[in-house]
Structure 1
Amino acid sequence: MASRSRKARSRKARSRKAHKRNINGELIVSSSTNSEFKMNKPVCLIENRINNGRAQLMVNPESIKILSKIHQPVVVVSIVGRYRTGKSYLMNRLAGAQKGFSLGSTIQAQTQGIWMWYVPHPNYEDRVLVLLDTEGLGDVEKGDTSNDSKIFTLAVLLSSALIYNGVSTICQDDLDKLKYVGELTELIKVRTDNIQDKEAAFSTYFPIFIWAVRDFSLELELNGEPISEDDYLNNALKLKIQAESSSSKEEEYNDLRRRLRNYFRKRKCFVFETPTDSIKELKEIEELPDDRLNEKFLSQSALFCDYIFQNAEIKRVDITVDVNGHRLGELANLYTEALNSSNVACLEEVVVSLAEKENKMAVEEGTKLYEDRMKTIVLPTKTLNQFLDLSTQYEEEARKVFFERSIKDTDKKFLNEFMEIVKRTRMEFSVMNEEKSREKCEALIKKHSAGLEKALAEGKFCVPGGHGRFKKSLEAIKKKYNRESKKGVKAEAVLQEYMTSKQTDEILIIQKDKDLSKEQRKKEEENARKQIEEMHEKIQQMQEEHWRQILNEERENYERTIEQLKHKMEEERIRMEEKMEQVLREKAMERFLYRMEGPYQANRQHGDQSCTIS
């Protein structure tokens, strides 16, 4: 375990980098092929359309095309909160940009649906930072507010880190806005076959949680003692000790806090002073350079951004599956479709659907790469070994592509399909290799044997001494043929076939050669017939050896494939076990904290968390 941790830290250290910008100062993202592409401004990922007075969520196809360009794993940060609370401005700071997500200076909500913007990750070269800005909760102009819970659910399910943006204090009103956490269990279904604790099962799908308190002007003190921002949040999430006659209101109070603590195991709080004391400047904040902003706000913003960059992990589904841009687009489609159609998203079914799509693409991309590589081989190859070595090299490359893209192929359905297509393609190219070689070899034989064939047709060997001249002619053809280069894999077979085809002519020539005695003719004829048998046997052996090499190579490639599959499955198993151990440890700690918490008198006396802060 320690060794794996050291290796992980080493990989992280190697992958760290700074933001890259072009000459115009625009952010750019390096793809896996080292080519660079950029996203100049946010686009709508999920549109919120109103049809017949009811909200309907629709995925924007253009955003899916944009996401498909990201081949690296993504870290997804989403923000939720009341409308007109400065969510978009905070996301722009995460993007390292002055402008980006649209801001507004009126009471009208600016962001509708979910908007997306990706930028290079400031700490890691091997991943991309995707930012999701959601429409505000509780917008009175929407008319139908039922989709707030769906927007919130999508923000949770798509992200690695979820920011809740509140104003002034952590108060009951803000917590009431987070009632959607309670509704998640109605909108999301998780099978708990392998996990007894249902809340632990839910939490494996959930992001880290950051509460951003904006325009905070109080002192962080509790009972006269200074506290940290995290203490502030944890204090707000304390449970009331319930008496036997507890009211439903108390139960509701505790239930929301319990869900927040159980589903979002990793929680963090940041408080921000106002960016500027001038109301006029607040309306023009997009235009203000940092040197016009409050220093305290800048330092708080820097700590906030650094925490997210360091702690928001790569987005994963089913614990072990890293999400890249293409997969994020697929998840957006699948989750949105599920919520629109049945109002319930079964996370395992979403993973199965994602796996089906990804595995089909894995087969397609892997086999296409193999075929494209095979097309680069100059046929005919000199030897079968040369052909097989190249085929094995290209199959290894294709297999790597398949394994990198495939997910949850537990029954090896798609792996078997991949291997079958590769095998069929290899055989097609092997046949082409043989045909090219045979075509070339037969042309060479025809060229060098033209004189002999003419002499045979004219009967020039059916004379005394003709057998000797015939054998010399055959030997001359053989030498000339063997001196030719690049004949390919059928070089020996074609020569043997030609020599065998001439044995019948040789027997006739022997029988008509008057220079040979009866005994000599008999002996030469026997030798000729014996050579025919030997040549047939040699041709048969060459064919058997040819297939033996091909089958051995197939077997070795199959063994390599299974070994790589076992390695991948073992890595996934270890990652799964480590994650579940972490979840259960965190759950045990939460239960311990529940037991340690005494009656929360401040809430009983005042009813508002802000009153505990002086």
Structure 2
Amino acid sequence: MAPRPVSMQEPMCFISNEKNGGLRVEREALKILQQIKQPVVVVSIVGLYRTGKSYLMNRLAGKQSGFALGSTVESKTKGIWMWCVPHPSKQGHTLVLLDTEGLGDVNKGDRNHDTKIFALAILLSSTLVYNSRGTIYNKAIEELQYVTEISRFIKVRSSDEEGDDSDFVKFFPNFVWTVRDFTLELKIGGQDVTGDEYLEYGLQLKKGCSENEVDYNRPRECIRKYFPSRRCYTFPFPTNPDNMSRLESLNPDELSAAFLEVVEEFCSFVFEHSQEKLLKGGHTVSGKVLGDLAKTYVDTISSGGMPCLENAVVAISEKENKAAVEDGVCLYRSGMDRLKQTFPVELQVVTSKHRELNSMAIQEFMKRCFKDDEGDFMNSLERGIDLHFEQHLKINEEASKKKCRDLLNRLSADMADKLQKGGYAKPGGYKLYRQDMDHIVEEYNSQTKESVKAKEVLEKFVTKKSEESEHIRQADSKLSEKEKHISEEREKAFLLEQKMEAEKEEKHLLEAKMKADQDSYEEKIKWVEGKHEEEKRRYEQEFERALESKMSEQKIMLEKGFEEEAKKLQKEIEQSKKEHDVTRAKYDTELKLLRENWKEEKQELERRNEEERARQNRSRFDF
């Protein structure tokens, strides 16, 4: 069953400011995120305070109001606020909207705090919207100073002594610049241009190595380098100035048609092109994982540390993999417990249900697990399933044995009554006893053809009755000594037959269990190989995306005559290719080792099965 969507009626504080300047993830927000099992698409908006960020977020939520707009120069949003709604166009996904505290608040005056908020927005987002007013000119880009400092607050690998920004392009969100209250014509050199072309024009670099040129280029270089996917929307004034303070309460006919058209284009683009949030390595983020990520990053930042994508993935994978094991075992146990209500059932019913639930449990596990490189969590899942399978086999066997014993008690009730009344203590009594016993066995077998442990119960029953049969045979005066001897041999043959039938049944049970184990083993291999190939494919996508971005930027640099910048990019490209070759070889080596381990596991499974068969064969002669 697909996870149910979570829909909040209004936004709530997600990450709050503390008096000491630190940050805190709110428990109530984490509780909401814990409920979201679906993949999340996270859209964050950042920008200077009082630039109308909240209005756009309300529109993305499909509402007129929600996030606080405010109507004064005071910043209304503090920290980061969250609104979770079903995604309007991606079924099975939740749209998480994050409205951040306005940057550059004069009452706060803490540039370091602003950079932390900006870093968190980047780390948590699928799409980052930067909201500004007026035009994309030098001052507007300088106001995006936080992007130049981001490498002080984020690092990709734990081995990096300080933020290494060369790999940011792999993991950074899409970037959308929204320019509000735009009054100019979209023309460059007398030619009409698109918003995207206008943005690229504003991000052009200046040649030269002077301090002014370096300062001018730095934020532009960072934006170009970090955000390969860039988009720009220019919004005209929404209404006349007198109405701006009550924007959220205005009817559509009171707003500019041109403004509403751009709003519609912006929302459509965000809905269509914002992908589900992924961790480093390509693992899909659910609401719960998003909450864990936020907690990890905020705790690290608040303690003075630098959030590391690699460390965050390792920490979260540990929690998610444990939870994935619990989910898989719980699904399996619940399904078997429902079957248990119908016990006793045929062995085939139990093993078929086991195969079905085992496959479902592995699928459930695979939805959440990632970076289980050593297979420890998969093995833990296997052990949990095996334990419950064995338990339910035994419970079914006991239920079946009880049912078989009750049947034998009913079928032999008349015989017991005759025995008590002396019905067999007469000449010809043994023949009558054997006829009654044969009738009981025949009737019992006809009613328990597929019952588990039926032969074992019968074998114990006839063995118990053999002493009784011997007394009746010896007391029957009608039988000659020769007939008694022949009857004794027939009795032994009958007991031997029942014992062999019981052992044949036991062998059948063992083979069925072995077949179930083999099927489980094959199912595990299929899913683990598929997961490994999927992780490798996602890594390749990350690499191709980053490589394409760097090569595209290098081409532009060469065309514009920035040879030094192009050389730097070439070095990064070459280094990326080397690292890619190493990582790809690592994936191949890991898969090879996994297959070798599986070969050993299979051999061990076959060895144990052969030992059990040999034990059963030896037991046939222990009588």
TM-score, structure 2 as length reference: 0.85
What is the Cα deviation at residue 223 of structure 1?
3.2
**2:297 equivalent to 1:346:** no
Structure 1 contact 382–486 (Cα < 8 Å) conserved: no
CA–CA separation in structure 2 for the residues paired with 1:193 and 1:344: 12
Corresponding residue to 2:18 among 49, 74, 80? 49
* Cα deviation code 1:170-209 (max 9, x no counterpart): 1333322322222221211112999xx9645211110011
Corresponding residue to 2:226 among 238, 263, 287? 263
Residues 524/328 of structure 1: CA separation in 2 closer, same or farther (3 Å cut): same
**2:75 equivalent to 1:109:** yes
What is the Cα deviation at residue 122 of structure 1?
2.4
What is the Cα deviation at residue 41 of structure 1?
0.6
Provide the residue aligned with 2:156 in structure 1.
Answer: 190
What SS does the aligned partner of 2:458 have? helix
What SS does the aligned partner of 2:56 have? helix
Provide the residue aligned with 1:39 in structure 2.
Answer: 8
* Matched residue type, 1:461: Y
CA–CA separation in structure 2 for the residues paired with 1:67 and 1:574: 28
Provide the residue aligned with 1:588 in structure 2.
Answer: 551
Provide the residue aligned with 2:140 in structure 1.
Answer: 174
What SS does the aligned partner of 2:415 have? helix
Provide the residue aligned with 2:574 in structure 1.
Answer: none
CA–CA separation in structure 1 for the residues paired with 2:60 and 2:228: 23
Residues 161/595 of structure 1: CA separation in 2 closer, same or farther (3 Å cut): same
* Matched residue type, 2:12: V
**2:244 equivalent to 1:275:** no
What SS does the aligned partner of 1:375 have? helix
**2:263 equivalent to 1:295:** no
CA–CA separation in structure 2 for the residues paired with 1:505 and 1:599: 106
1:201-600 pair list within 5 angstroms: 201-242=167-208, 246-277=209-240, 279-377=241-339, 378-456=341-419, 460-482=423-445, 484=447, 488-598=451-561
* Cα deviation code 1:409-444 (max 9, x no counterpart): 221111111111011001111111111111122122
Structure 1 contact 115–132 (Cα < 8 Å) conserved: yes
Structure 2 contact 345–396 (Cα < 8 Å) conserved: no
Corresponding residue to 2:105 among 126, 135, 139? 139
CA–CA separation in structure 2 for the residues paired with 1:345 and 1:599: 33
CA–CA separation in structure 1 for the residues paired with 2:333 and 2:192: 67
What is the Cα deviation at residue 317 of structure 1?
0.8
What is the Cα deviation at residue 397 of structure 1?
2.0
* Cα deviation code 1:466-521 (max 9, x no counterpart): 21011012123224434657994122321232123222332333233222222221
* Matched residue type, 1:115: W
CA–CA separation in structure 1 for the residues paired with 2:561 and 2:255: 42
* Matched residue type, 2:338: T
CA–CA separation in structure 1 for the residues paired with 2:443 and 2:507: 27
Structure 2 contact 175–230 (Cα < 8 Å) conserved: yes
* Matched residue type, 1:422: I
What SS does the aligned partner of 1:189 have? coil
CA–CA separation in structure 2 for the residues paired with 1:40 and 1:488: 56
Provide the residue aligned with 1:129 in structure 2.
Answer: 95
* Matched residue type, 2:288: H
CA–CA separation in structure 1 for the residues paired with 2:30 and 2:337: 32
Structure 1 contact 48–57 (Cα < 8 Å) conserved: yes
What SS does the aligned partner of 1:140 have? coil
Q: Greater relative contact order: 1 or 2 (C-alpha under 8 angstroms, separation 6 or more)?
A: 1
CA–CA separation in structure 1 for the residues paired with 2:301 and 2:537: 32
What SS does the aligned partner of 1:201 have? helix
Structure 2 contact 455–498 (Cα < 8 Å) conserved: no
CA–CA separation in structure 2 for the residues paired with 1:584 and 1:487: 63
* Matched residue type, 2:89: N
Structure 1 contact 72–324 (Cα < 8 Å) conserved: yes
CA–CA separation in structure 2 for the residues paired with 1:401 and 1:565: 13
**2:58 equivalent to 1:88:** no
* Matched residue type, 1:142: K
What SS does the aligned partner of 2:206 have? coil
CA–CA separation in structure 2 for the residues paired with 1:319 and 1:78: 22
What is the Cα deviation at residue 272 of structure 1?
0.9
CA–CA separation in structure 2 for the residues paired with 1:75 and 1:380: 45
* Cα deviation code 1:510-533 (max 9, x no counterpart): 233222222221121122123323
CA–CA separation in structure 1 for the residues paired with 2:12 and 2:322: 28
Residues 471/130 of structure 1: CA separation in 2 closer, same or farther (3 Å cut): same
Corresponding residue to 2:130 among 164, 169, 172? 164
Residues 32/573 of structure 1: CA separation in 2 closer, same or farther (3 Å cut): same
Residues 319/292 of structure 1: CA separation in 2 closer, same or farther (3 Å cut): farther
* Matched residue type, 1:164: Y
* Matched residue type, 2:2: S
The 10-residue stretch of structure 1 (101-110 or 302-311) with the greater mean CA deviation from structure 2: 302-311
* Matched residue type, 1:372: S
* Matched residue type, 2:376: K
Provide the residue aligned with 1:155 in structure 2.
Answer: 121
* Matched residue type, 1:312: S
* Matched residue type, 2:538: R
* Matched residue type, 2:520: N
Provide the residue aligned with 1:9 in structure 2.
Answer: none
What is the Cα deviation at residue 283 of structure 1?
0.7
CA–CA separation in structure 2 for the residues paired with 1:220 and 1:435: 81
What SS does the aligned partner of 1:71 have? coil
* Cα deviation code 1:364-394 (max 9, x no counterpart): 1111111111111134333111111122222
What is the Cα deviation at residue 49 of structure 1?
1.8
Structure 2 contact 180–235 (Cα < 8 Å) conserved: yes
CA–CA separation in structure 1 for the residues paired with 2:211 and 2:494: 102
CA–CA separation in structure 2 for the residues paired with 1:226 and 1:388: 70
Structure 1 contact 164–210 (Cα < 8 Å) conserved: yes
Structure 2 contact 355–519 (Cα < 8 Å) conserved: no
What SS does the aligned partner of 1:122 have? coil
CA–CA separation in structure 1 for the residues paired with 2:423 and 2:56: 99
Aligned-residue sequence identity (percent) comes to 38
What SS does the aligned partner of 2:37 have? coil
What SS does the aligned partner of 1:117 have? strand
Provide the residue aligned with 2:590 in structure 1.
Answer: none
What SS does the aligned partner of 2:439 have? helix
CA–CA separation in structure 2 for the residues paired with 1:330 and 1:280: 44
Structure 1 contact 119–130 (Cα < 8 Å) conserved: yes
Residues 594/198 of structure 1: CA separation in 2 closer, same or farther (3 Å cut): farther
Provide the residue aligned with 1:27 in structure 2.
Answer: none
What is the Cα deviation at residue 295 of structure 1?
1.4
What is the Cα deviation at residue 110 of structure 1?
0.4
CA–CA separation in structure 2 for the residues paired with 1:417 and 1:201: 34
Structure 2 contact 5–36 (Cα < 8 Å) conserved: no
* Matched residue type, 1:506: S
Provide the residue aligned with 1:12 in structure 2.
Answer: none
What is the Cα deviation at residue 462 of structure 1?
4.5
Give the root-mean-square deviation of aligned CA atoms: 2.3
* Cα deviation code 1:517-552 (max 9, x no counterpart): 222211211221233233222222211221111111
What is the Cα deviation at residue 143 of structure 1?
4.7
Provide the residue aligned with 1:15 in structure 2.
Answer: none
